[in-house]
Structure 1
Amino acid sequence: MFSPYFSSGNSSFKFILDILDGMDDWVRVVDRSNSVIFINRSMERDLGIRDLAGKKCYEIMGCGDPCDNCITDKAVFEGKSCKKIEVFNNRIFSVMSSPIIADDGNVYYAVEVLRDITKEKEMERELIRQNQKLQHDLEMARKLQMQLLPRKNVKIPGLDFAYLYQPCDDLSGDMVNIFQVDRDRVGIYIADVSGHGVSASMLTIFIISTLNQKTRSPSRALYRLFRQYNLGDFDKDSYITIFYGIYNTRTRVLTYSNAGHNCAPVIIGRNGVKKLYMPAIPISNWVDDPKYYDATIQLDTGDRLFLYTDGVADQWLEEPGKITSDGFIMETLSEKNSDLQAILNKIYDYVHTRLENIGVRQKDDITMALMQPVQSKGC
């Protein structure tokens, strides 16, 4: 529909009208006084308008006054396009207003295309709602995972212990734990699950809930963990690497086993540096019947056992095994009069600075633990 201001005396004009009338979007032409001089067929049909004479743009939309973001107050009539949102009968429209520049360079009219985006906005609101719910769930999962970590002030007679846990995402695939097996024995493990996020964090909870904390053989505990893992339907890309040791605080003997954890724990003491190598298959569904073995080592007062995941080293040392070749880390681990937690914090700051210097974002979880036998009071 068009007002008497328009003339349709040539075929080119009719062709343009046919295009506009074929559009599902609403199209209207407004003059400087807010009078509507044209609407296309879709707008005419949906609004039930039969006569445009004297109608203002806000009137045909059922409003008594001009909109707060009226185009006559904008730069449209100065030759610039603008975009806005209008709500009509609980429907949301995206409105693109563009100037119609006359031959003399002036703007007497503006064309507005109104697209119904109600469904898109509803979907956007639903996505925002779902995202907020997901973020809330992730935050709850993160808090749960943090609560499953050992207490920072855990006290164990005859043993000093500290750990540092720094996920690269909200949820981590790393886990470290220390617990009492019996009166004389303490269990300690560090694990790294493939991947990150929710699936990896759920597997860390699987480790905590499944690992047998009463058996005195780490290898048997790891084999049982393997069997329980294979009762689930995990794909071959999922796996767990874990080093598990049981330390006797009375004899100072560490019995340990390894399930594919390629970050060989390091002992730093009076006899220098020793890596606790022990190759074995990760907790996975790659083989039917893996073999895990126990080994033992005697620790002296003052020896330190350093556990870590590959996030500590492989981001800048190419492979975790090279960590013992880093002089700063080895010297820091050997500082005799330093608090264990302060040592780990110092190493983390060093690693973080190294990553910043080479322009690399932390892309893997960083987890470390440090254990040191001490003389128990009364001994």
Structure 2
Amino acid sequence: MFENIVDCMHDWVRVIDLNDNIIYVNKAMAKALNENPIGKKCYKAFERDIPCEKCVSRATIATGQPQQQEELIHNRTFSVMSSPIKDKDGNIIAVVEVLRDITEMKKLQKAIINQNKKLKSELNIAKKLQYSLLPKEIPNEYVEFSYIYKPCDTLGGDFLDIFKIDTSHIGVYIADVSGHGVAASMLTVFLRSSIDKTIISPASALKKLYIEFNNNFSDQDLYITIFYAIFDITSNTLVYSNAGLNVSPIVLNPYTKTFKLLRVPGIPISNWVENPSYEDKKLILQNRDKLFLYTDGIVELKNNKNEQFGENRLIGVLQGNVESPGVILDRIIKAASEFAGIERYNNAADDITMALLEIKNSKD
């Protein structure tokens, strides 16, 4: 019965005595070797003149424990598992080897490793592209601007930009694309290239972006949430609109200790409706007012009690802080990381993106 079971196995099976002699092989092994190797030395069956340098069966005899290793036999790779055979008194009297041909599996593993290396290289190129699109220069001497951008994956779904529209207007937006990875990052590239930076109305620009999105991605499940604001340095006003961003940007003044949440509804850039409506709102700014933009990654950080960092704690860090935008953002990161018990934002579950724009002076 036992021999019939073993003979039905596709793997090779052989039994070797303590003197390296083969005392049994199953049918699969005998057929593959094209002979009956019983009585031969175990290594002679594989056309070797001396025992293997690291003999798995000798290791089994020495340790009394099963051993496994890979061996090259007739230009094929085998996984060899050797187990001890013991008599009724517990003495090892032989070993049984099961040899499985893993050549194709090893080729597949190598192909997967090479493909992963290629994918990693391509992801790094895409990452460099995405980072290269982030703002590098402040477009006007009347504002001070700083940001933090930290994707939770190699490629992020968050994005932001600040740019000069004309001599009197500065545009700034922050966006959060659903999901992460390549698809989300490619939508951030679409966003930067497609948003019309000549339109003075944020609502009109978002409406045009919505149409452009549906001309190209109407069959996709992804969507973009974006808050877009335009600062008029001649009138010291901020006009803003929102397409579904689920957190409210904040205008605050550390000297007067006042703040305002910029809440305005709007449909995300998506294929959800045929004719979305976006609304422009206007706010008169004071010197040293700050505009804080962020996505939900920072407020949704949780502590060990499953409590979120939240909007109130965020405002608490912002209020009364007269330091530069870059220093303030670092303070927010420190406070949120300590709250969540993580090392800065390196272990965050979502993208962390924030920006702070300070109105330094109005144009005469």
Structure 1 residue 188 corresponds to structure 2 residue 172: yes
Instruction: Provide the residue aligned with 1:161 in structure 2.
Output: 145
CA spacing shift, 1:260–1:216, aligned 2, 3 Å: same
Q: For residues 253 and 233 of structure 1, what CA distance do their matches in structure 2 show? A: 34
Work out which of the residue numbers 13, 38, 41 in structure 1 matches 2:27.
41
CA spacing shift, 1:376–1:295, aligned 2, 3 Å: closer
Q: For residues 221 and 326 of structure 2, what CA distance do their matches in structure 1 show? A: 34
Deviations 1:34-67 (A, max 9, x none): 12122111111111124533x2111111222222
Amino acid at match of 1:244: Y
1:77–1:110: 8 Å Cα contact kept in structure 2?
A: no
Instruction: Provide the residue aligned with 2:274 in structure 1.
Output: 288
Instruction: Provide the residue aligned with 2:9 in structure 1.
Output: 23
Work out which of the residue numbers 43, 48, 55 in structure 2 matches 1:70.
55
1:21 shift after superposition: 2.0
1:191–1:241: 8 Å Cα contact kept in structure 2?
A: yes
1:312–1:320: 8 Å Cα contact kept in structure 2?
A: no
CA spacing shift, 1:23–1:75, aligned 2, 3 Å: closer
1:155 shift after superposition: 5.3
1:310–1:320: 8 Å Cα contact kept in structure 2?
A: no
Unaligned runs of 5+ in 2: none
1:355–1:362: 8 Å Cα contact kept in structure 2?
A: no
Residue correspondences, number: 357
Deviations 1:245-274 (A, max 9, x none): 111223222121111112111111237111
Instruction: Provide the residue aligned with 1:96 in structure 2.
Output: 81
Tell me the SS of whatever aligns to 1:257: strand
Q: For residues 235 and 69 of structure 1, what CA distance do their matches in structure 2 show? A: 59
What is the RMSD computed on CA atoms of the aligned residues? 2.4
Work out which of the residue numbers 337, 341, 349 in structure 2 matches 1:363.
349
Q: For residues 124 and 312 of structure 1, what CA distance do their matches in structure 2 show? A: 39
Unaligned runs of 5+ in 1: 1-14
Deviations 1:184-220 (A, max 9, x none): 2111000111111111111111100100011111111
Q: For residues 48 and 155 of structure 1, what CA distance do their matches in structure 2 show? A: 79
Q: For residues 150 and 189 of structure 2, what CA distance do their matches in structure 1 show? A: 17
- 1:63-142 maps to which residues of 2 (within 5 A)? 63-142=48-127
Work out which of the residue numbers 283, 298, 302 in structure 2 matches 1:297.
283
Structure 1 residue 239 corresponds to structure 2 residue 226: no
Q: For residues 71 and 319 of structure 1, what CA distance do their matches in structure 2 show? A: 55
Amino acid at match of 1:222: L
Work out which of the residue numbers 213, 230, 234 in structure 2 matches 1:250.
234
Q: For residues 302 and 79 of structure 2, what CA distance do their matches in structure 1 show? A: 50
In the superposition, the TM-score normalised over structure 1's length comes to 0.88
Deviations 1:87-113 (A, max 9, x none): 112211111101110133211211101
Q: For residues 165 and 139 of structure 2, what CA distance do their matches in structure 1 show? A: 14
2:294–2:353: 8 Å Cα contact kept in structure 1?
A: yes
Moved more, 90-99 or 133-142: 133-142
In the superposition, the TM-score normalised over structure 2's length comes to 0.91
Q: For residues 139 and 216 of structure 2, what CA distance do their matches in structure 1 show? A: 36
Amino acid at match of 1:211: I
Instruction: Provide the residue aligned with 1:9 in structure 2.
Output: none
